[in-house]
């Protein structure tokens, strides 16, 4: 038997979200609410984590995989009823249970550790996390007697005016003594609307059990629960502030935190500067000494050290070091840009590798291309990679010079050190050290590099 196990309740309908997506899967800074909770719980205690889910929660099971176990709640009959579903999986497995809701994504490991330590130090049946640092609307209020002992929790909808004025609220995070909990769950009776309230356990423990103790959260907003989309936006703002603070304290300059959006799973290196109106999302990583923004979006992209990205969009792209991009360029999935490449304005790269030192300054599209080192791609040069049915590959050798407005009609190869003339439509392979000009392009005797004109 381990000391601790955890239960996360995530089977509610989330009706107040008005959404076809289960509430706990709504993302907060790019990460599902319930994953924020599960990660904090896993860090705070080493025991198993059981997620209570609604029947048919394939989406949820897929996203969380086998880091947690699952039990189903057939019908959403309330938080107390949800916890009853844990008994079969966890009875006899742990001395204490940490019980959480899947809709409180701002909770931090440190606070949960505090709750756990406090519970272990007391003889109480329940240790409850309470807070006076969150907006109390919609939350259960903590009722204490004259001596300060918790006597029960009253839900807002059942509270009278005086009770509603109480600032101390129930965070929905509890530590239970397991041997007290399982029989106590049988004492819960349904509310007039047929719901079993987990919170009623508090009155039971206060009345006849070994009592209730409380712990409080470390930071403002930690116990904030998300029941509707207004609260989702409030939680997102709080989480965003927390993430930016973490990166600023780690050496990242954020010029305007109010217009900078960094997802939970992003990493940014020291001395990087993020300019306003910039979003770093998904699993993006940015190296050291970069300048990102203003007005840039980087999603699931990896950026090396000493890169500059101005007013551009990167999705699923990789930049090695010393690359500069933008303004107004778009790097799409599979774009791999080697070191010291210059990508200027209105360039698009998809599923292509640009070799070290490539220059692609203006108005170009490179799709499904392997570009060698030190290639110059002139203004307006593009790959015609799609013939309406298939995407076809292009290869450009090292030190080639692609003239302005060249059309590379794929599949096609341009050999090393070859030159294409301005406006050439290249629909046949060009051998190394050659010059191809005209429409369609024909090979000419090569005199010196660049004679066909380019940027
Ligand atoms: C609950 C508490 C309230 C507390 C607040 C903290 C009760 C009765 N009320 O209210 O005191 O201040 O959380 O955020 O517990 N769930 C199930 N099955 C169900 C119902 C809910 O698994 O049948 C899950 C939900 O998915 C959710 C969590 O339990 O993750 C809480 O349910 P929710 O309906 O959001 O409760 P609140 O109204 O927020
Ligand atoms: Mg809630």
Query: 157-170, pLDDT tens digit by residue?
Result: 999 999 999 999 99
The CATH number covering residue 353 comes to 2.160.10.10
Would you state the structure tokens that stand for residue 196, as one six-digit string? 């079993």
3-state secondary structure of 17: helix
| Residues 63 and 160 occupy one common structural domain | yes
Residue whose CA lies nearest to ligand 1 atom number 28: 101
| Residues 141 and 18 occupy one common structural domain | yes
Kindly tell me if the per-residue pLDDT of 319 is higher than 70.
yes
Residue whose CA lies nearest to ligand 1 atom number 34: 12
Q: Assign 453 a pLDDT band (cuts: 50, 70, 90).
A: very low
| Residues 27 and 176 occupy one common structural domain | yes
Q: What is the DSSP letter of 395?
A: E
Last residue of some domain: 216, 239, 262? 216
- What distance in angstroms lies between residue 14's CA and the mean position of ligand 1's atoms? 9
220 vs 263 pLDDT, higher one? 263
Q: What pLDDT was estimated at residue 445? A: 75
Any idea which residues carry the catalytic annotation?
362
- What distance in angstroms lies between residue 194's CA and the mean position of ligand 2's atoms? 18
Mean pLDDT along residues 144-151: 95
Q: How far is it, in rounded angstroms, from Cα 366 to Cα 412? A: 13
Q: Which residues span the domain enclosing 123?
A: 2-216
Q: What pLDDT was estimated at residue 455? A: 45
- What distance in angstroms lies between residue 77's CA and the mean position of ligand 2's atoms? 14
- Does residue 89 contact residue 50 with C-beta atoms inside 8 Å? yes
Last residue of some domain: 192, 216, 240? 216
| Residues 284 and 167 occupy one common structural domain | no
Is there an atom of ligand 1 within 6 Å of 423 CB? no
Mean pLDDT along residues 298-317: 98
| Residues 328 and 195 occupy one common structural domain | no
Q: How far is it, in rounded angstroms, from Cα 342 to Cα 365? A: 14
- Does residue 348 contact residue 363 with C-beta atoms inside 8 Å? no
Q: Under 8 Å CB-to-CB from 2, ≥6 apart: which residues?
A: 46, 47, 48, 93, 94, 95
Q: What pLDDT was estimated at residue 447? A: 64
Kindly tell me if the per-residue pLDDT of 360 is higher than 80.
yes
Question: 92-128: string of b/e by CB count within 10 Å (b at 16+)?
Answer: ebbebbbbbbbbbbbbbeebbebbbebbeebebbbbb
The predicted-structure confidence for 45-81, as pLDDT tens digits, reads as follows: 999 999 999 999 999 999 999 999 999 999 999 999 9
| Residues 28 and 161 occupy one common structural domain | yes
Q: What pLDDT was estimated at residue 217? A: 87
Closest ligand 1 atom to 77 CA: 23
Is 248 contained in some domain? Answer: no
Is there an atom of ligand 1 within 6 Å of 73 CB? yes
Is 43 contained in some domain? Answer: yes
- Does residue 237 contact residue 105 with C-beta atoms inside 8 Å? no
Q: Classify the C-alpha dihedral 192-198-203-207 as positive or negative.
A: positive
Q: Assign 452 a pLDDT band (cuts: 50, 70, 90).
A: very low
Is 364 contained in some domain? Answer: yes
| Residues 210 and 286 occupy one common structural domain | no
Q: What pLDDT was estimated at residue 110? A: 95
Is 58 contained in some domain? Answer: yes
The predicted-structure confidence for 10-35, as pLDDT tens digits, reads as follows: 999 899 999 999 999 999 999 999 99
Q: How many domains is the chain built from?
A: 2
Q: Assign 103 a pLDDT band (cuts: 50, 70, 90).
A: very high
Q: Which residue among 6, 7, 10, 12 is best mutated to probe the pocket of ligand 1, counting the most ligand atoms within 8 A of its Cβ? A: 12
Closest ligand 1 atom to 195 CA: 23
| Residues 209 and 302 occupy one common structural domain | no
Q: How far is it, in rounded angstroms, from Cα 224 to Cα 172? A: 9
The predicted-structure confidence for 246-301, as pLDDT tens digits, reads as follows: 999 999 999 999 999 999 999 999 999 999 999 999 999 999 999 999 999 999 99
Last residue of some domain: 191, 216, 241? 216
| Residues 282 and 417 occupy one common structural domain | yes
Q: Assign 1 a pLDDT band (cuts: 50, 70, 90).
A: low
Closest ligand 1 atom to 155 CA: 11
| Residues 291 and 387 occupy one common structural domain | yes
The CATH number covering residue 162 comes to 3.90.550.10
Residue keyed to tokens 């289960």: 22
Is 119 contained in some domain? Answer: yes
Is 299 contained in some domain? Answer: yes
Q: How far is it, in rounded angstroms, from Cα 286 to Cα 238? A: 23
- Which ligand approaches the C-alpha of residue 102 most closely? 1
| Residues 158 and 289 occupy one common structural domain | no
Please report, rounded to a whole number, the percentage of residues in the chain having pLDDT higher than 70: 98
Q: How far is it, in rounded angstroms, from Cα 51 to Cα 118? A: 24
Residue whose CA lies nearest to ligand 1 atom number 13: 172
Kindly tell me if the per-residue pLDDT of 449 is higher than 70.
no
| Residues 303 and 425 occupy one common structural domain | yes
Is 125 contained in some domain? Answer: yes
Is 161 contained in some domain? Answer: yes
Is there an atom of ligand 1 within 6 Å of 114 CB? no
- What distance in angstroms lies between residue 141's CA and the mean position of ligand 1's atoms? 14
- What distance in angstroms lies between residue 264's CA and the mean position of ligand 1's atoms? 24
């Amino acid at each position: 038997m381990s000391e601790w196990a955890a239960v996360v309740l995530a089977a509610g309908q989330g009706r107040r979200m008005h959404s076809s997506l289960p509430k706990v899967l709504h993302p907060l800074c790019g990460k599902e609410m319930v994953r924020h909770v599960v990660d904090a719980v896993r860090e705070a205690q080493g025991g198993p984590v059981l997620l209570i889910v609604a029947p048919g929660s394939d989406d949820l099971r897929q996203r969380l995989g086998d880091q947690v176990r699952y039990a189903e709640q057939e019908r959403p009959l309330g938080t107390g009823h949800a916890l009853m579903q844990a008994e079969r999986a966890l009875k006899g497995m742990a001395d204490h249970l940490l019980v959480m809701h899947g809709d409180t994504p701002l909770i931090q490991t440190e606070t949960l550790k505090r709750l756990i330590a406090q519970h272990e130090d007391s003889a109480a049946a329940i240790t409850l996390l309470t807070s006076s640092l969150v907006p109390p609307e919609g939350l259960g209020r903590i009722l204490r007697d004259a001596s300060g002992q918790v006597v029960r929790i009253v839900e807002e909808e059942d509270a009278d005016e005086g009770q509603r004025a109480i600032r101390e609220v129930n965070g929905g995070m509890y530590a239970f003594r397991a041997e007290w909990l399982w029989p106590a769950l049988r004492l819960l009776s349904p509310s007039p609307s047929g719901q079993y309230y987990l919170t009623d356990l508090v009155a039971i423990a206060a009345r006849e059990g070994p009592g209730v103790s409380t712990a409080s959260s470390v930071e403002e907003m930690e116990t904030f629960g998300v029941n509707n989309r207004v609260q989702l936006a409030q939680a997102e703002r709080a989480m965003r502030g927390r993430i930016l603070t973490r990166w600023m304290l780690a050496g990242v300059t954020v010029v305007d935190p109010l217009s900078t959006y960094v997802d939970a799973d992003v990493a940014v290196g020291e001395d990087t500067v993020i300019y306003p109106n910039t979003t770093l999302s998904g699993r993006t990583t940015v190296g050291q000494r970069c300048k990102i923004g203003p007005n840039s979006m980087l999603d699931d992209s990896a950026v090396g050290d000493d890169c500059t990205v101005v007013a551009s969009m990167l999705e699923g792209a990789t930049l090695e070091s010393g690359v500069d991009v933008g303004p107004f360029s778009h790097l799409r999935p599979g774009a791999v840009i080697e070191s010291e490449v210059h990508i200027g304005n209105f360039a698009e790269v998809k599923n292509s590798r640009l070799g070290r030192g490539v220059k692609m300054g203006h108005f170009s599209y490179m799709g499904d291309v392997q570009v060698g080192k030190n290639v110059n791609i002139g203004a307006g040069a593009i790959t015609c990679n799609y013939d309406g049915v298939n995407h076809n590959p292009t290869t450009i050798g090292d030190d080639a010079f692609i003239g302005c407005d060249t059309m590379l009609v794929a599949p096609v190869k341009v050999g090393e050190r070859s030159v294409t003339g301005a406006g050439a439509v290249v629909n046949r392979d060009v051998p190394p050290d050659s010059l191809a000009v005209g429409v369609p392009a024909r090979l000419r005797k090569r005199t010196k590099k660049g004679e066909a004109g380019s940027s």
